[in-house]
């Protein structure tokens, strides 16, 4: 019983880390007023390139270096995703394309690129390539031993039984919250997303802020993709992985709404989503017997609560809980 619940929690946390990265990236992007629905695709790009680069490194190096392996995975995932984010910004901010259409196209492009990459770029081809070395590094538990008592085991499993990316994600969320709330650049960024005209009049370079927030946001989201493959998916790449990342990417977009655009809410929100998502697999613990059709329906719970949160926050009409006011709108000074 206990071990099953612990395994459920662990699974939920791993899952949560993937969507937390995606949602943090999307939150940062949306704070600049850009609605990047390309996030699922960008996470695929991050996954494909992060995995691919570190895989090629460990295949070709005599003695792969742990630090380099991690660095290559993270850097490549971030860099190529950020490029995709910059492309999105080029299309919507500079070339004035519609954000929603561009975002959806970006998702199709990203997952397609990732599939192509998996199919043809890696010499061995698709099916069962694994970055074993990197997987070991990413899934390595924190070196904390708390003895053998029951409570000690629970604490150890829940708080320390995970790879380092969990802690990186939490730190990023906290830093992002402080950045948005307590720094001038954060204030300026929020102003751009709320009222670009006012920000412009105050002397803020609206385009620069949009480019930077969208690119860095896409980069962070891409880390989620890399993490998906190197830890959540046990280091294995297949073209199917792109589909898996994309599905989680949409949940990440939903999580942004669930967290009402606040980075700190993303931390517990992502784990809650993870628990809900994996509920179908562990519901037997509670003595509930379900047909597979019924348990498949359970996977929809995160979406249902997102809709509920959306309804509640719009009924409340509390202004702090609304999306950035200029979200999805392009800004051109001449339109004033």
Partner 1 sequence: MEQKKQVAIEMRGVTKAFGSLVANKDVDLCVYRGEILALLGENGSGKTTLMNMLSGIYYPDAGEIFVDGKSVSIRSPKDAFECGIGMIHQHFKLVDIFSAVENVALAMDSQEKYNLKAVAAKMQQICDRYGFELDIQQKVYDMTVSQKQTLEIIKVLYRGADFLILDEPTAVLTPQEADKLFQVIRNMREDGKSVIIITHKLHEVLDISDRVTILRKGQYIGTVDTKDATEDSLTEMMVGQKVELNIDRPEPVDPEPRLILKNVTCKNAEGIIVLDDVSFTVNSGEILGIAGISGCGQKELLEAIAGLQGVEAGGSILYYSPQNRKTTELVGKSPRKIRDLGVALSFVPEDRLGMGLVGSMGMTENMMLRYYNDNKTIFAEMKKPRKLALKIKEELDVATPGIDTPVRALSGGNVQKVLVGREIAASPTVLMTAYAVRGLDIHTSYTIYRLLNEQKQAGVAVIYVGEDLDVLLEISDRIMVLCGGRVNGIVDARTTTKSEVGLLMTNMRKEAQHD
- For residue 194, give both structure tokens: 């709320």
| 191 near partner 1, rule: CB under 8 A | yes
Q: Which residue lies nearer to partner 1 by CB, 132 or 205?
A: 205
Residue 123: CB minimum distance to partner 1, A = 51
| 124 near partner 1, rule: CB under 8 A | no
Four-CA torsion 58, 20, 255, 100, nearest 10 degrees:
-50
DSSP collapsed to 3 states, the chain = CHHHHHHHHHHHHHHHHHHHHHHHHHHHHHHCCCCCCCHHHHHHHHHHHHHHHHHHHHHHCCCCCHHHHHHHHHHHHHHHHHHHHHHHHHHHHHCCCCHHHHHHHHHHHHHHHHHHHHHHHCCCCCCCEECHHHHHHHCCCCCCCCCCCHHHHHHHHHHHCCCHHHHHHHHHHHHHHHHHHHCHHHHHHHHHHHCHHHHHHCCCCHHHHHHHHHHHHHHHHHHHHHHHHHHHCCCEECHHHHHHHHHHHHHHHHHHHHCCCCHHHHHHHHHHHHHHHHHHHHHHHHCCCCCHHHHHHHCCHHHHHHHHHHHHHHHHCCHHHCCCCCCCCCCCHHHC
Q: 66-89 vs 39-60: helix axis angle to the nearest 10?
A: 150
| 316 near partner 1, rule: CB under 8 A | no
Residue 68: CB minimum distance to partner 1, A = 38
| 204 near partner 1, rule: CB under 8 A | yes
Among 3, 123, 289, 319, binds partner 1 (CB under 8 A): 319
| 187 near partner 1, rule: CB under 8 A | yes
| 313 near partner 1, rule: CB under 8 A | no
| 207 near partner 1, rule: CB under 8 A | no
Size of the site for partner 1 (CB under 8 A): 19
Residue 282: CB minimum distance to partner 1, A = 40
| 299 near partner 1, rule: CB under 8 A | no
CA-only gyration radius of the chain, Å: 20
| 115 near partner 1, rule: CB under 8 A | no
| 202 near partner 1, rule: CB under 8 A | yes
**Which span (65-73, 183-191, 212-220, 297-305) binds partner 1, by CB under 8 A?**
183-191
Among 11, 59, 90, 194, binds partner 1 (CB under 8 A): 194
Residue 184: CB minimum distance to partner 1, A = 4
| 195 near partner 1, rule: CB under 8 A | yes
**Which span (154-162, 179-187, 218-226, 285-293) binds partner 1, by CB under 8 A?**
179-187
Cβ pair 56, 186 in contact under 8 A: no
Q: Which residue lies nearer to partner 1 by CB, 260 or 279?
A: 260
Among 123, 147, 203, 287, binds partner 1 (CB under 8 A): 203
| 190 near partner 1, rule: CB under 8 A | yes
Q: Which residue lies nearer to partner 1 by CB, 113 or 192?
A: 192
Residue 109: CB minimum distance to partner 1, A = 29
Neighbouring C-beta atoms of residue 97, cutoff 10 Å: 16
**Which span (26-34, 232-240, 305-313, 314-322) binds partner 1, by CB under 8 A?**
314-322
Q: Which residue lies nearer to partner 1 by CB, 158 or 264?
A: 264
Q: Which residue lies nearer to partner 1 by CB, 194 or 299?
A: 194
| 201 near partner 1, rule: CB under 8 A | yes
Cβ pair 80, 45 in contact under 8 A: yes
Residue 304's nearest CA partner among 333, 336, 285, 277 is 277
> Which residues are at the interface with partner 1 (CB under 8 A)?
183-184, 187-188, 190-191, 194-195, 197-199, 201-204, 319-320, 322, 325
């Amino acid at each position: 019983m206990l071990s099953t619940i612990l395994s459920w929690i662990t699974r939920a946390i791993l899952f949560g880390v993937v969507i937390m990265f995606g949602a943090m990236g999307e939150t940062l992007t949306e704070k600049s007023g850009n609605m990047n629905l390309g996030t699922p695709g960008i996470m695929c790009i991050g996954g494909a390139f992060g995995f691919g680069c570190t895989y090629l490194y460990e295949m070709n190096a005599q003695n792969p270096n742990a630090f380099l392996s991690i660095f290559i995975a993270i850097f490549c995932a971030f860099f190529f995703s950020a490029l995709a984010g910059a492309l999105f910004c080029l299309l919507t901010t500079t070339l004035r394309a519609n954000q929603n259409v561009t975002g959806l196209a970006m998702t199709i492009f990203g997952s397609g690129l990732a599939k192509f990459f998996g199919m043809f770029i890696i010499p061995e081809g698709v099916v069962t390539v694994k970055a074993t070395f990197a997987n070991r590094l990413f899934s390595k538990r924190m070196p904390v031993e708390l003895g053998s008592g029951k409570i000690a085991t629970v604490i150890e499993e829940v708080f320390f039984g995970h790879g380092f990316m969990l802690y990186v994600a939490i730190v990023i969320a906290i830093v992002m919250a402080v950045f948005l709330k307590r720094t001038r650049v954060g204030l300026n960024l929020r102003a751009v997303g709320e009222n670009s005209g006012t920000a412009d009049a105050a002397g803020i370079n609206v385009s620069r802020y949009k480019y930077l927030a969208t690119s860095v946001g896409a980069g962070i989201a891409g880390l989620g993709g890399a993490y998906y493959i190197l830890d959540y998916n046990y280091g294995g790449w297949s073209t199917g992985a792109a589909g898996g990342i994309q599905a989680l990417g949409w949940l990440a977009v939903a999580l942004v709404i669930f967290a009402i655009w606040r980075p700190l809410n993303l931390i517990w929100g992502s784990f809650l989503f993870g628990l809900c998502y994996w509920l179908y697999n562990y519901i037997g613990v509670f003595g509930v017997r379900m047909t597979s059709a019924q348990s498949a329906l359970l996977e929809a719970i995160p979406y249902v609560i997102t809709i509920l949160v959306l309804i509640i926050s719009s009924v409340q009409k509390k202004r702090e809980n609304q999306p950035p006011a200029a979200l999805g709108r392009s800004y051109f000074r001449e339109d004033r």
